[in-house]
Amino acid sequence: MKGNKYLRYYLYQAASSAIRFDPVLRDYYKSKRNEGKAHKAAVVLTTRKLVRSIYYMLKNNVPYKPFETTHVSN
C-alpha cells in the first residue's frame, strides 16, 4: 500500500457514509456487490470512485450534482 494511511482511512470512512446517503454511490456499491465483490472490496471500489469525483470537481471547479450523473440514456 502507498499513500497516507490516515487519508486512506478517512476516505474509506467517507465512502462508507456516502453509500448510505448518496444515491449514485449507493447504486455503484450495490452493482459491485451484485458482481460478487465482498463488502470491503466494494467499499474500496466506491472509495476510488469518490476520489475520482473529488478530483474532477476540484480540477474543473464544479459542484457535485449526483442526479445528473446517475443514468445516461441513449
6: its cell numbers: 490516515
Domain assignments of the chain as residue spans, ordered by start: 5-64
The stretch 5-10 carries a mean pLDDT of: 95
Contact between 46 and 32 under an 8 Å Cβ cutoff? The reply is yes
Q: How far is CA 62 from the centre of its chain?
A: 17
Cα separations (Å) of 71 from 4, 12, 24, 63?
Answer: 33, 24, 9, 18
Query: Residue 34: is its pLDDT beyond 60?
Result: yes
3: its cell numbers: 499513500
pTM for the model stands at: 0.83
Residue-wise pLDDT tens digits, 42-65: 999 999 999 999 999 999 999 988
